[in-house]
Amino acid sequence: MPFTLRRRLRPAAATAVAVALGASTLAACGSSDDDSEEAQSGPVSLTYWTWAPGMDKVADIWNKGPGKKAQIKVVVKKQASGDTLVTKILTAAKAGKAPDLVQAEYQALATLVSNDVLADISGEVEGVDKEFAPGIWQQVTLGSDAVYAIPQDSAPMAFYYREDLFKKYGLEVPKTWDEFAETARQLKKKDPGKDLTTFSANDSGLFAGLAQQAGAKWWTVDGDKWKVGIDDAATQKVADFWGGLVEEDAIDNQPMYTPAWNKALNTGKQIAWVSAVWAPGTLTTAAPDTKGKWAMAPLPQWTEGESVTGSWGGSTIAVTNDSKNKAAAAKFSTWLNTDPEALAALVKEGGIYPAATAAQTGDALSQAPEFFSNQPDFYTEAAEIAKNTAPAAWGPNVNVAYTTFKDAFGKAAKNKSDFGAALTTMQDATVADLKKQGFEVAE
Amino acid sequence: MTSARRKTYGVKGAPYLFLLPATLLFALFFALPIGYALWLSLHKIEVKGLGLGKGARQETWAGLGNYADALSDPELLDGALRVLGYGAIVVPVMLGLALLFALMLDTDRVRLAPFSRLAIFLPYAIPGVIAALLWGFLYLPDLSPFHFVLDKLGLPQPDLLDGGPLYLSLSNIAVWGGTGFNMIVIYTSLRAIPAEVYEAARLDGCSQLQIALRIKIPMVAPSLVLTFFFSIIATLQVFSEPTTLRPLTNSLSTTWSPLMKVYQDAFGKGDTYSAAATAVIIAVVTLVLSFGFLRAANSRNKQEEAR
């Protein structure tokens, strides 16, 4: 988005041009293995594409410490975030010139694997899976025996609200979605000029996360076929819920990340935001005047007493098939995302919420973000929320589903019309695209 | 004899030698990319099974399938209609204003001509994306000074980023940015009209208005045709303004204009093949429309000359 600097990773785009890459990109067999062993004996230089801020400083720690010992030097090349980078990686891979290491969002992995860009590094990272929650690790294996990336950050979702304004209007922090709807209506009654929040159609990741929390599985594998469940009962429930709120004008229907949205947050016209653990960064730039006035609470639940959350964003570091030093690259990726020193640097320099379980309760996150200095146990709370993150199920054309979401839900939000119909459009477009590409799709 | 023959050979070969650099550049940077786009548009990707792992994707011949898909996609036609509506506002308003300003600057009584000229031209120097951002901020209800004033006056505040007003808002950006450029083109050709024509007109008792209508406008007709030609092309290719405004409103889809659809297909959906087909269709339509117009304008000119 042009208007706010977001730490989060933007939805994946593109499966750009995909020619089977051929012989130059053999993964973990035969001659290429010998190559990497040979390369390992001398000094190795790895190129690393990332958009996370401060990553050059983290790489410096490696280059001066463990990297120096292993004679593996990492060169960071700063990139544009999320969707644009996926396109760039695919194009580079087509030319056989992809960098050794790339940052990729969880939902982009299937697209990249399907284009034969990522190397299977399962042989190099044995035992690393124990460092991560199973729900997260499953996303980098795509449910197979292969390992396509090491998780870097995770983004469990939470409910953010203006503590002061909730008190002023006598509102309770909603524990269930029913209470959430009731809170929105109460606020409208007390001050019609205010909104609890908005339903934004310009970031599909939020909706995907909310659907995950409700138990949705958008892409699943059924034998040799893909099954698309975007319009499953769980997602339908989520769509109807938000569509209902928009229809009765209980919440706003304008997109996020616009100057108007920034202003609404900054002036207290909108007093809550369903977001993820990276929200403090966004709020710092979007609503600087509200520092210290926000608080984080667990996401409202569908069933009272539960504590499930979804993910909105988060990324991984993967090794490409074009890399001549896959073992070295896997070694760095593992260090970067599991070593305590590296994790501390990731938090400090990159403002990242690490995916590694140990780091979430470790020293690195002992202090709350500055914007949330009023909530000193911010990260303790976050770790508690993260414990029960619903697994995500991504497929090879997330990009198509996400694009269709923007258009279909944008239109529905604007017209305050049936969100269920928009969801059907999303399902149909996703299935049609899979079939057009030749994927086997289970009905 | 022999030396003379060699000389003839040399002379015969020379034009080809001189043509070589231009031909090479043309082939490398023009013909080749177009050829590649055509080639892409006739192919598609076919995936086997789950599409994971090696060799799961293959490029296969698609024939005219991509073209058939693009032409039967209602979204492309809708986009073309939207752009047509947008062009129907932009082109007449922009060229009308450009002509009006050029004529006003060309009168004898004008003051501060260089300053006015620059002031009208300046928006053209601002990149389209920046202009769209700037206007986008001005259109957003919560930030717009227009809305603020309307609110204070107790008047209704139309949503400038929705429905009919959206077309006006988009057109406004194009008019604001393009008028200056077109004005300069027309103004330059106005300055090229020899002074004796005016003198003769004045001796015959022509007023300033009559001079403008009867002499100046007919004499700058070729530049009007040219600016019209440029404007049609620019309109058909509208991309950056709606793309920049899109995140601000639910009313602009990612496929609002045909070019946005091409971009979305190529970089949003990763389907370069159908994007190439749509791009070829847009190029053909643009060529037919713009050259059709040029031909029509030319043949009319010739008819008038014959008379």
Give chain B positions within 8 Å (CB) of A263.
142-143
> Looking at the structure, do residues B262 and B132 belong to the same domain, yes or no?
yes
> Looking at the structure, do residues B47 and B168 belong to the same domain, yes or no?
no
pLDDT value at residue B149: 86
d(CA A3, CA A8): 14
Entry pTM: 0.84
CA A325 to chain centre: 27
For residue A8, tell me if it sits in a domain: no
φ/ψ region of A416 (left if φ > 0, alpha if ψ in -120 to 50, else beta) reads: left
d(CA B232, CA B182): 13
Q: Count of CB atoms within 10 A of residue A279's CB? A: 25
- Is A13's CB within 8 Å of B248's CB? no
For residue B67, tell me if it sits in a domain: no
For residue B68, tell me if it sits in a domain: no
For residue B189, tell me if it sits in a domain: yes
> Which CATH number goes with the domain that contains B169?
1.10.3720.10
For residue A298, tell me if it sits in a domain: yes
Token duo for residue A431: 């299935």
For residue A349, tell me if it sits in a domain: yes
Query: For residue range A102-145, what is the model confidence (pLDDT) as tens digits?
Result: 999 999 999 899 888 999 999 999 899 999 988 889 899 988 88
For residue A231, tell me if it sits in a domain: yes
Rounded to a whole number of angstroms, the distance from the CA of A122 to the nearest CA of chain B is 14
| Domain-terminating residue out of B14, B35, B61 | B61
> Looking at the structure, do residues B120 and B48 belong to the same domain, yes or no?
no
Question: Strand A441-442 vs strand A225-228: parallel, antiparallel, or unpaired?
Answer: parallel
> Looking at the structure, do residues A266 and A233 belong to the same domain, yes or no?
yes
- Is A114's CB within 8 Å of B59's CB? no
For residue A2, tell me if it sits in a domain: no
| Domain-terminating residue out of B61, B93, B108 | B61
> Looking at the structure, do residues B43 and B166 belong to the same domain, yes or no?
no
d(CA A225, CA A221): 6
- What's chain B look like in SS3? CHHHHHHHHHHHHHHHHHHHHHHHHHHHHHHHHHHHHHHHHCEEEEECCCCCCCCCEEEEECCCHHHHHHHHCHHHHHHHHHHHHHHHHHHHHHHHHHHHHHHHHHCCCCCCHHHHHHHHHHHHHCCHHHHHHHHHHHHCCCCCHHHHHHHHCCCCCCCCCCHHHHHHHHHHHHHHHHHHHHHHHHHHHHHCCCHHHHHHHHHCCCCHHHHHHHHHHHHCHHHHHHHHHHHHHHHHCCCHHHHHHHHHCCCCCCCCCHHHHHHHHHHHCCCHHHHHHHHHHHHHHHHHHHHHHHHHHHHHHHHHHHC
For residue B21, tell me if it sits in a domain: yes
For residue A200, tell me if it sits in a domain: yes
> Looking at the structure, do residues A113 and A233 belong to the same domain, yes or no?
no
State the best of B36, B271, B273 to mutate against chain A, taking most chain A CBs within 10 Å.
Answer: B271
Q: Which domain holds residue B23?
A: 2-61
Q: Which of A226, A253, A403 has its CB closest to that of B269?
A: A403
For residue B208, tell me if it sits in a domain: yes
Q: Which of A17, A84, A397 has its CB closest to that of B272?
A: A17
Q: What is the mean pLDDT of each run of 10 residues along chain B (307 residues)?
A: 55 86 92 94 86 76 92 92 95 96 85 87 92 91 83 82 89 94 94 90 89 90 90 91 91 93 87 93 91 84 72
Collect all residues from B whose CB is shorter than 8 A from any CB in A: 40, 45-59, 133, 136-137, 140-143, 162, 244, 247-251, 253-255, 264, 266-272
> Looking at the structure, do residues A124 and A167 belong to the same domain, yes or no?
no
Q: Does A405 touch chain B (CB under 8 A)?
A: no
Query: For residue range A247-266, what is the model confidence (pLDDT) as tens digits?
Result: 999 999 999 999 899 999 99
Q: Which of B247, B268, B272 has its CB closest to that of A13?
A: B268
Count of A–B CB contacts within 8 Å?
A: 137
For residue B214, tell me if it sits in a domain: yes
Domain count, chain B: 2
Residue A327 has pLDDT above 60, yes or no: yes
Which CA distances in Å does B182 have to A125, B110, B289? 63, 19, 20
> Looking at the structure, do residues A416 and A287 belong to the same domain, yes or no?
yes
Q: Are B253 and B79 in contact (CB under 8 A)?
A: no
Q: Which of B46, B57, B250 has its CB closest to that of A414?
A: B250
What is the three-class DSSP state of A294? Answer: strand
| Domain-terminating residue out of B20, B35, B61 | B61
pLDDT value at residue A21: 30
What is the three-class DSSP state of A306? Answer: coil
> Looking at the structure, do residues A132 and A172 belong to the same domain, yes or no?
no
Mean pLDDT (chain A, rounded) = 87
> Looking at the structure, do residues A147 and A163 belong to the same domain, yes or no?
no
- Is A224's CB within 8 Å of B50's CB? yes
d(CA A148, CA A158): 28
Query: For residue range A380-436, what is the model confidence (pLDDT) as tens digits?
Result: 999 999 888 888 889 989 989 998 999 999 999 999 999 999 999 999 999 999 998
> Which CATH number goes with the domain that contains A50?
3.40.190.10
Helices (H), A367-418: 378-386, 398-415
Name which residue leads in pLDDT, B151 or A179.
A179
Greatest Cα pair distance in chain B: 96
Q: Are A307 and A298 in contact (CB under 8 A)?
A: yes
Torsion angle, CA of B178/B180/B181/B186, rounded to 10 degrees? 120
> Looking at the structure, do residues A98 and A144 belong to the same domain, yes or no?
yes
> Looking at the structure, do residues B251 and B217 belong to the same domain, yes or no?
yes
> Looking at the structure, do residues B170 and B215 belong to the same domain, yes or no?
yes
- Is A437's CB within 8 Å of B47's CB? yes
Q: Does A30 touch chain B (CB under 8 A)?
A: no
Residue A76's beta-bridge partner residues? A48
> How many residues appear in chain B?
307
Token duo for residue B299: 């043949």
Query: For residue range A81-103, what is the model confidence (pLDDT) as tens digits?
Result: 777 788 889 889 888 999 999 99
φ/ψ region of B36 (left if φ > 0, alpha if ψ in -120 to 50, else beta) reads: alpha
Question: Strand A157-162 vs strand A150-153: parallel, antiparallel, or unpaired?
Answer: unpaired
> Looking at the structure, do residues A186 and A142 belong to the same domain, yes or no?
no
> Looking at the structure, do residues B47 and B139 belong to the same domain, yes or no?
no
Query: What are the φ and ψ backbone dihedral angles of A154, each rounded to 5 degrees?
Result: -120, 160
Give chain B positions within 8 Å (CB) of A406.
253-254
For residue A374, tell me if it sits in a domain: no
> Looking at the structure, do residues A37 and A107 belong to the same domain, yes or no?
yes
- Is B55's CB within 8 Å of A20's CB? yes
Domain count, chain A: 2
What number is the ipTM of this complex? Answer: 0.80
| Domain-terminating residue out of A324, A347, A365 | A365
- Is A254's CB within 8 Å of B250's CB? yes
Nearest CA to B273 among B284, B262, B282? B262
Q: Which of B50, B143, B162 has its CB closest to that of A226?
A: B50
Give chain A positions within 8 Å (CB) of B140.
258-260
Q: Which of A260, A397, A399 has its CB closest to that of B140?
A: A260
- Is B52's CB within 8 Å of A254's CB? no
> Looking at the structure, do residues B165 and B272 belong to the same domain, yes or no?
yes
Give chain A positions within 8 Å (CB) of B136.
259
Q: Which domain holds residue A26?
A: 22-154+313-365
- Is A414's CB within 8 Å of B140's CB? no
